[in-house]
């Protein structure tokens, strides 16, 4: 048994007992109220979900198992996966063991390549990627063991096995989607590196003479991993998982939500918006020109992608981390400079629109310019990168939920007439 699985076998029973006792003692305590506005407003701010892997206080941003993101930016995604699951960072031996476990599971079945090859050449990269995850469902250990009558206490272990199998294969699948969809040639077989992000960069096949692009990808795959339980991809996936659908179903379903322009697809839209400003103004736009363009976008009824958030009320620390990376590695890159200028301009514009709750940049506002700098210019691909990273958090949440024995999700809905009656009462 791998060291991570052994560790989880140790920690989960105590956590489950603690939660059981907590709910037994305080089960009837009220933790939230719901207004009519919230019911019709996407349940914003309604506390009714449990997520132990991470939380997002509006004034702080992402905290993973009690550690603020700013203290985690130097870590690799494998360390983050360990942290999400166990609540601790791994030591060197543990990290190596997890890397080996992923390495041993990296081989992608041939039929996955055949399915991707059979898709229309102009399919969206997200459709290709999510289809590849779903088509592997027949490999699910959870589905097989469930059919054999697995005990409830063993659910998390089978979900863990599925998670490792899926996560290990995502870099190869993501890289092939990139190469196939954008005509970059054959699939690349990486050398025997155990480093998950490094092997991904090798398979993408983009030049990386001094290793800076690998550094960016490690940061990228780290920063997008998890964002508590209520965002569209995590929540959709958790809902699917709560029906005891296996992780292949749950993850691909959640990632279909990530493919929406108000969620993960915003990173493709955002770089598009930045480049549009450069095209429109024939080079680097001034602050004044950006202000005008921001108003033009708002007045045409569109959103300014990369800005605003359903929970955050500060500049997203993930954006801060990308900005710091850009300043260090590409301070004079013209597209990156425009991103900085947008950051200096757009919040002031959005602040003037009363209905907008958060005028600050989110994770998607800056990442595209950094990828663009290293030659990853096909921005419809960017959400696939987001997905590879977000799979870590979604998988961790699914494993924890199974270990804690959480039931099927089933909030109550009412028709509008029902709410009208309730309000009159
Ligand atoms: N540009 C223009 N209008 C915006 C806006 C923006 N960046 N952010 C919010 N608004 C508008 C909303 O569309 C909404 O308008 P209506 O009432 O007319 O529908 C109004 O302001 C109120 O919205 P809000 O309470 O501030 O924000 P929500 O919680 O409803 O939505 C989000 C959050 C992210 C969908 C929204 O800010 C947005 O659309 N941003 C741009 C897209 C984006 O960057 N998404 C990525 C988010 C991060 C991620 O998940 O990856």
CA of 294 to the centre of ligand 1 (A): 14
Structure confidence at residue 205 (pLDDT): 97
CA of 342 to the centre of ligand 1 (A): 17
Q: Give the domain extent around 188.
A: 92-264+378-404
CA distance 122 to 132: 16
Judge if 160 and 275 occupy the same domain: no
CATH code of residue 175: 1.10.580.10
Judge if 179 and 308 occupy the same domain: no
Determine, yes or no, domain membership for 412: no
Query: Hey, whose CA ends up nearest to atom 17 of ligand 1?
Result: 355
- Output the CA torsion sign for 378, 379, 380, 385: positive
Judge if 282 and 171 occupy the same domain: no
pLDDT tens for each residue of 224-272: 999 999 999 999 999 999 999 999 999 999 999 999 999 999 888 899 9
Structure confidence at residue 292 (pLDDT): 96
CA of 34 to the centre of ligand 1 (A): 21
Our mutation pick for probing the ligand 1 site, out of 267, 308, 310, counting the most ligand atoms within 8 A of Cβ, is 308
Cα-based angle 416, 418, 421 (whole degrees, multiple of 5): 110
One of 124, 224, 263, 373 is an active-site residue; which one? 263
Instruction: Please give the backbone phi and psi of residue 361, each rounded to the nearest 5 degrees, phi first.
Output: -70, 145
Our mutation pick for probing the ligand 1 site, out of 233, 297, 299, 303, counting the most ligand atoms within 8 A of Cβ, is 303
Q: How many domains does the chain have?
A: 2
pLDDT tens for each residue of 375-407: 999 999 999 999 999 999 999 999 999 999 999
User: For residue 391, what are the CA distances in angstroms to 81, 234, 256, 359?
Assistant: 10, 9, 12, 28
Judge if 226 and 290 occupy the same domain: no
Determine, yes or no, domain membership for 38: no
Determine, yes or no, domain membership for 30: no
Q: Is 364 a catalytic residue?
A: yes
Judge if 105 and 247 occupy the same domain: yes
Judge if 236 and 287 occupy the same domain: no
pTM exceeding 0.75? yes
List the chain residues with pLDDT less than 70: none
Structure confidence at residue 78 (pLDDT): 98
Structure confidence at residue 267 (pLDDT): 85
Determine, yes or no, domain membership for 145: yes
Judge if 260 and 287 occupy the same domain: no
């Amino acid at each position: 048994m791998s060291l991570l699985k052994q560790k989880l076998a140790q920690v989960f029973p105590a956590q489950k007992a603690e939660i059981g006792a907590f709910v037994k003692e305080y089960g009837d305590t009220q933790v939230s109220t719901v207004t009519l506005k919230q019911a019709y407003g996407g349940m914003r701010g309604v506390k009714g979900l449990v997520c132990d892997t991470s939380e997002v206080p509006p004034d702080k941003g992402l905290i993973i198992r009690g550690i603020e993101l700013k203290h985690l930016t130097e870590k690799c995604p494998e360390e983050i996966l360990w942290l999400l699951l166990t609540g601790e960072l791994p030591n060197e031996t543990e990290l190596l063991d997890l890397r080996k476990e992923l390495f041993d599971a990296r081989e992608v079945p041939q039929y996955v390549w055949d399915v991707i090859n059979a898709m229309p050449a102009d399919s969206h990269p997200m459709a290709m990627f999510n289809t590849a995850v779903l088509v592997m469902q027949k490999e699910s250990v959870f589905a097989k063991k469930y059919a054999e009558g697995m005990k409830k206490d063993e659910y998390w272990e089978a979900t863990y096995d599925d998670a490792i199998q899926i996560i290990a294969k995502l870099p190869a699948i993501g890289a092939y989607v990139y190469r196939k969809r954008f005509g970059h040639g054959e699939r690349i077989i990486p050398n025997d590196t155990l480093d998950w992000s490094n092997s991904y960069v090798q398979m993408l096949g983009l030049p990386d003479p001094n290793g800076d692009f690998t550094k960016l990808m490690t940061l990228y795959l780290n920063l997008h991993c998890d964002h508590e339980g209520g965002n569209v991809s995590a929540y959709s996936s958790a809902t699917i998982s709560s029906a005891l659908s296996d992780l292949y179903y749950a993850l691909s379903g959640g990632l279909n939500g990530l493919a929406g322009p108000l969620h993960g697809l915003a990173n493709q839209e955002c770089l598009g918006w930045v480049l549009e400003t450069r095209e429109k103004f024939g080079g680097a736009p001034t602050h004044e020109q950006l202000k005008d363009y921001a108003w033009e976008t708002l007045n045409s009824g569109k959103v300014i992608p990369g800005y605003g958030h359903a929970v955050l009320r500060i500049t997203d620390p993930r954006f801060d981390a990308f900005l710091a990376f850009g300043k260090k590695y590409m301070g004079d890159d013209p597209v990156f400079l425009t991103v900085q200028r947008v950051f200096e301009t757009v919040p002031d514009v959005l602040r003037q629109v009363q209905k907008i709750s958060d005028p600050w940049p989110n994770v998607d506002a800056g990442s595209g310019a950094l990828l663009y700098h290293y030659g990853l210019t096909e921005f419809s691909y960017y959400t696939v990168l987001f997905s590879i990273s977000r799979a870590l958090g979604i998988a961790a949440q699914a494993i924890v939920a199974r270990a804690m024995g959480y039931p099927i999700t089933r909030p109550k809905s009412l028709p509008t007439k029902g709410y009208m009656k309730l309000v009159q009462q």
